[in-house]
């Protein structure tokens, strides 16, 4: 199965060269590069033209005479693609050995998985001090085939199954030059039953926002596009589930928590020591095991002292909920009994 790797480019000749060379050096799975040049200046333009001429069988070069932004470049690339998989790849990334093979392995592991990120510093996986990118990538190979769920994937390195594109369509160009279009696409895919995940053993290093920082309007555009995203999908909420009982909570409650995380909410869970959290690992779910003997006072204190307050707190015990209500002037959250 072939993967069409779409690389939008706007200048950054050295980074672009390193990105493309890393793909050729570290990719064994069948691939074809679709490079969309967004009106780059001569150094980058000339490099891409010479490269495409040398690799006519492996590279399709498309050029826009005006910088149309990330989203329109990606959509043009998708329109020119025909592979079973499409992978968006920023030109300020460096891929490591086996990156694509591992992503495809995860993709083929489940029908429900539709969109896959590589592991990356962008997702919080950073090399230790003095550790090379290659050494970290080798270390992560022990997680082969494993993944963690994401509320949505990020467009720096984002593999999409062809059937997802057929059902979801292209990226929404209402998001302008780029921001939140990847999250919006993943939300639309989720509506059709496809989850987004991170392939834990695939590593791609990302020099973040190297193109965006050249736009003076980036901050104001980011705020406007965030409001556009919230207007469409609702604002992300911070939600806490407090499980006070000794027995393991029900599978139904676990599914409820997972579904809320999939919608983009950030979830905290307080459990008593030795309880087992048996819900899929998700990037938006944080689980804390608190001392059993002092569970009530410790959990209430942690709720009160938080700077970023919870929007909602679900509790499984009415007595605990009533005590928590007394502290509402401090924690501000809506307390919901869900026994």
Q: Where are the domains of the chain?
A: 3-231, 238-337
Q: What are phi and psi of 247, to 5 degrees?
A: -75, 155
Instruction: Please report which residue ranges of 142-217 form alpha helices under DSSP H.
Output: 162-168, 181-191
With 80 as the cut, is the pLDDT of residue 45 above it? yes
How far is residue 60 from each of residues 7, 33, 35, 220, measured CA to CA in Å? 10, 6, 6, 34
The pLDDT assigned to 15 comes to 97
Reply yes or no on whether the pLDDT at 160 is more than 90. Answer: yes
Out of 1.10.760.10, 3.40.1190.20, 3.30.540.10, 3.90.550.10, select the CATH number for domain 3-231: 3.90.550.10
Residue 214 confidence (pLDDT) above 60: no
Window from 30-39, 121-130, 215-224, 326-335 with minimum mean pLDDT: 215-224
pLDDT tops 80 at residue 231: yes
Report phi then psi at 152, rounded to 5. Answer: -160, 155
Whether the predicted pLDDT of 182 surpasses 60 = yes
pLDDT higher than 60, residue 212: no
pLDDT score of 56: 94
Q: Which residue spans within 28-125 are E strands per DSSP?
A: 31-38, 59-64, 85-89, 93-95, 113-119
Decide which of 3.40.630.70, 3.40.50.20, 3.90.1170.50, 3.40.50.300 is the CATH code for 238-337: 3.40.50.20
Rounded to the nearest 5°, which phi and psi values hold at 87? -125, 120
State the alpha helices, DSSP H only, in 141-197: 162-168, 181-191
Name residue 197's beta-bridge partners: 116, 149
> Could you tell me the two tokens for 142?
């022990």
Q: What is the pLDDT of residue 1?
A: 86
Does pLDDT of 281 surpass 90? Answer: no
**Count of C-beta atoms within a 10 Å radius of residue 245:** 13
If you average pLDDT over residues 102-124, what whole number do you get? 97
Number of H helices, E strands in the chain: 12, 14
């Amino acid at each position: 199965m072939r993967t069409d790797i779409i690389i939008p480019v706007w200048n950054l000749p050295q980074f672009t060269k390193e990105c493309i060379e890393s793909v050729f050096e570290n990719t064994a799975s069948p691939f074809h590069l679709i490079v969309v040049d967004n009106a780059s200046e001569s150094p980058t333009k000339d490099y891409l033209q010479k490269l495409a001429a040398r690799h006519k069988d492996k590279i399709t070069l498309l050029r826009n005479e005006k910088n149309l932004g990330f989203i329109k470049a990606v959509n043009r690339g998708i329109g020119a693609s025909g592979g079973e998989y499409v992978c968006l790849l920023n030109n300020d990334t460096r891929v490591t050995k086996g990156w694509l093979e591992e992503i495809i392995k995860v993709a083929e592991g489940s029908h429900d998985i539709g969109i896959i990120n590589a592991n990356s510093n962008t997702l919080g996986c950073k090399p230790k001090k003095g550790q090379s990118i290659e050494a970290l990538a080798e270390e992560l190979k022990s997680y082969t085939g494993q993944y963690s769920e994401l509320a949505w994937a990020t467009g720096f390195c984002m593999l999409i199954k062809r059937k997802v594109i057929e059902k979801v369509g292209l990226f929404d160009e209402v998001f302008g030059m780029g921001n939140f279009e990847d999250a919006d696409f993943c939300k639309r895919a989720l509506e059709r039953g496809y989850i987004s995940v991170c392939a834990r053993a695939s590593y791609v290093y990302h020099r973040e926002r190297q193109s965006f920082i050249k736009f003076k309007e980036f901050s104001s555009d980011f705020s406007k596009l965030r409001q556009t995203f919230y207007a469409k999908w609702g604002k992300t909420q911070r939600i806490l589930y407090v499980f006070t009982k000794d027995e393991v909570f029900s599978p139904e409650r676990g599914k409820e928590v997972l579904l809320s995380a999939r919608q983009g909410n950030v979830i905290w869970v307080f459990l008593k020591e030795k309880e087992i959290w048996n819900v899929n690992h998700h990037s938006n779910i944080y689980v804390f095991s608190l001392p059993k003997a002092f569970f009530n006072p410790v959990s209430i204190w942690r709720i009160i002292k938080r700077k970023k307050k919870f929007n909602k707190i679900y509790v499984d015990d009415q007595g605990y909920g009533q005590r928590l209500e007394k502290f509402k002037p401090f924690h501000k959250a809506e307390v919901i009994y869900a026994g």
